[in-house]
Amino acid sequence: MNIDVAKRIPLITLVGPPNSGKTTLFNYLSGKNFKTVNYPGSTVEYYTCKIQDKYNIDANLLDSPGIISLNPNSPDEEVTVNSLYNHPEFGVPDLVIATADASQLSRHLLLTKQLLTAGFRVLLVLTMRDLLEKKGLKVNTDKLSKLLRCDVVIVNGRTGKGIDELITTIERNLKEIDTKNHSEPYSISDQLSKENLLNLYSEIESLTRAVIEPIDFPDLEKVNKNIKILNPVLQEPSLQPDLFTLKLDKVLLHRKYGLLFFFLIMTTMFTSIFWLADPFMTLVDDFFSYLAQTSSAFLGNTWYSHLISDGLISGTGSVLVFLPQILILFLILGLLEDTGYLARGAMMIDKPLSKIGLNGKSFVPMLSGFACAIPAMLAARTISNKRERLLTIFIIPLMSCSARLPVYVLLVAFLTPSDKPWFGGILLASIYVFSIISSIIVASLINKFSKKLIRTEDNSSFILELPAYRIPKLKVVLKNSYINALHYIKRAGPIILVLSLIIWFLTYMPNHSPQIDTAGLNQQEIIQLEKSERLATSYAAELGKSIQPIMTPLGMDWRIGVSLIAAFAAREVFVSSLALIFRVTDDENIQSSLLTAMQNAKNQQTGEPLFTTATVIGLVVFFVFALQCISTIAVSRKETGGWRIPMLQLIIFTSTAYLFTLITVNGLKLLGIN
């Protein structure tokens, strides 16, 4: 949309401090007709929509990340503030709706006052009146409106009460714009000195004192409460934080048990991502397998049939199979955030994380990384310091994501003696512990060299409001999870699809109809044999053979190389391509036949067993470190705004993986473990 067209439709921008009820208001005004857009030239996202049809206002509505003042503190805030003055796509807003928490008036009016000073046309929306009422207080909106010289409306975020009045007020404001000439807003950056800020605050304080009044309660008990709250010593109303929050914090932020609760909550969340998502992932997986089988049965044994079933449908399936995990992850994170706990978690873990150049706010993204690196990288946006955000994104691929699990399961099964199944569980747990420890080491190493790797200024801080505990609004959380899941598909989908088509081409061509001896084989076995013959003579195999020199030092041959190449699209492909290359045709029990095939496989160069304890442990090490996920690379590029960081990740993690595998395999051989 160009500015000329946009000018004809008025633009309303929503701004407000974090936790001021901005998102709820946006949801009310937008209905469901919003879309997410990136600010041109940056990774910061905003939502834009037309105001819901039922309100009958023809206007664009723009929502952006919360800001505390017009003095930006992070790259994200900078984009938001700049866009207020002149949005690259929409221009200057005709009306700014500023939200403020009524129980936090003295803090939240700072932004409103700055907006008014800068010459914006402002409509102030007060939210969370209920929190203020709990303290026996109310805001005199008429007085506030007169003192501020802008319209003030109270909206209840839970019930939607006040929306109608807001709509009428918006309409009146937009009409006045048509009749009045309003001047362009100007920058107030010269007014942001310490002195001016303090003056502004004392102005707001006297204003707040003038507009906050006690509620006239008919019953005596509440009046008594009022008197207690309006303690004459404090002289200012509403100074007490929520009492329930203070009590709960005594437990959840306890100096001894706080961390215990923290780990308990995080472990519950982390494990539930796996077990809650598992049946749904199987369902998605089954659905796409069924779709692939049906289409291949329908189209016959032709190249385009394979393209559609193996390339297109399986490619789409590999994008969507992680969707349940991502939805559940965002759902749990959203619920935790909405209750107010997440900010506490970030506070508790800030100190140890700051030691390795991260921030308390890095923890949630890192934890999400155990499910999938993609939503984890998106979650890193909450970190305001750019250097810490980039470092967080940098190490996220080292968190052992769920795509590694099928690979680990296979390799662990190989190493586990059949009479000691418990050994497998210990091995798997050790792999996770190993990956956590190694990512901590890598993070601190990267942090040491990060001045060179991540070029940006260092001004680390941790200033975070701990919002009052609240019962989460399920509707809002569900909606946000849905939006985030949609993001995942939009961001990762197209790239994974294109690359899985390329991988399909490399593993399918040029020998797409191989000659095999079909004597004594059933249809299923013929198809499987064709597949493996095709793979063994494909471009991918040639690629695998060309990397033989780097596989030899690892005690492996080109066949593992091909599987590793295929696994660069997505790790879990490793298992299926091994099955293909070792001609495992038993569809019923792939794992056990694959294990037998692996035990019997001989290194084509040396004639020694290909899979030994040493090489299999080596492969585990490789999968712990290597960045073998195209979607991660794609999202890393989007989130960091360039190819520099994803390429560094790819090179550093993959070469580390190779080096450590080399050391592991040869070290174990030297120790006589083979």
Partner 1 sequence: MKTAAELKHGEKARISDINSDNPSYKRLIEIGFTPGQEIELVNTSVFDDPMAFSIRGTLIAIRRNEADCIILS
Q: For residues 181-220, which are near partner 1 according to CB under 8 A? A: 192, 194, 197-198, 201-202
Question: Which of 37, 243, 246, 437 is in the footprint of partner 1 by CB under 8 A?
Answer: 246
Question: Which of 308, 343, 536, 584 is in the footprint of partner 1 by CB under 8 A?
Answer: 343
User: Quick check: helix, strand or coil at residue 511?
Assistant: coil
For residue 191, the minimal CB distance to partner 1 (Å) is: 12
Which residue shows structure tokens 């001016």?
196
For residue 119, the minimal CB distance to partner 1 (Å) is: 20
618 labelled ligand-binding: no
21 labelled ligand-binding: yes
66 labelled ligand-binding: yes
**Does residue number 338 form part of the binding site for partner 1 (CB under 8 A)?**
no
Contacts within 8 Å (CB) and 24+ apart, 146-152: 147/207, 147/210, 147/211, 148/112, 148/113, 148/116, 148/122, 148/124, 148/207, 149/116, 150/112, 150/116, 150/121, 150/122, 150/123, 150/124, 151/123, 151/124, 152/123, 152/124, 152/125, 152/126
For residue 17, the minimal CB distance to partner 1 (Å) is: 9
55 within 8 A of 169, measured Cβ to Cβ: no
Angle at alpha carbon of residue 311, lines to 305 and 317, rounded to 5°: 115
Q: Which of 190, 189, 120, 188 is nearest to 150 (CA)?
A: 120
Question: Which of 315, 360, 555, 618 is in the footprint of partner 1 by CB under 8 A?
Answer: 360
41 labelled ligand-binding: yes
Question: Which of 253, 409, 502, 595 is in the footprint of partner 1 by CB under 8 A?
Answer: 253
**Does residue number 486 form part of the binding site for partner 1 (CB under 8 A)?**
no
Q: Which is nearer to partner 1, 468 or 535 (CB)?
A: 468
For residue 640, the minimal CB distance to partner 1 (Å) is: 24
**Does residue number 464 form part of the binding site for partner 1 (CB under 8 A)?**
yes
What tokens does 654 get? Answer: 């993959």
Write down how long the chain is: 674
**Does residue number 350 form part of the binding site for partner 1 (CB under 8 A)?**
yes
Packed helices 630-640 and 474-508: angle between N→C axes, nearest 10 degrees? 120
45 labelled ligand-binding: yes
What tokens does 127 get? Answer: 């939210």
For residue 73, the minimal CB distance to partner 1 (Å) is: 5
| Secondary element (H or E) of residue 439 | helix 422-453
22 labelled ligand-binding: yes
301 labelled ligand-binding: no
Q: Which is nearer to partner 1, 388 or 639 (CB)?
A: 388
413 within 8 A of 579, measured Cβ to Cβ: no
User: Quick check: helix, strand or coil at residue 512?
Assistant: coil
What tokens does 305 get? Answer: 């049939």
Q: Binding-site residue total for partner 1 (CB under 8 A)?
A: 47
For residue 359, the minimal CB distance to partner 1 (Å) is: 10
What tokens does 639 get? Answer: 């989130």
Q: Which of 105, 114, 112, 29 is nearest to 63 (CA)?
A: 29
Rg (CA), the chain: 30
Segment interacting with partner 1 (CB under 8 A) among 4-12, 67-75, 487-495, 632-640? 67-75
For residue 112, the minimal CB distance to partner 1 (Å) is: 13
Q: Which is nearer to partner 1, 177 or 239 (CB)?
A: 239
**Does residue number 321 form part of the binding site for partner 1 (CB under 8 A)?**
no
For residue 70, the minimal CB distance to partner 1 (Å) is: 10
Q: Which residues bind partner 1 (CB under 8 A)?
A: 68-69, 71, 73, 103-104, 106-107, 110, 192, 194, 197-198, 201-202, 234, 238-241, 245-246, 249-250, 253, 255-256, 258-259, 343, 347-352, 354, 360, 459, 461-468
Q: Which residues are annotated as a binding site for Mg(2+)?
A: 27, 30-31
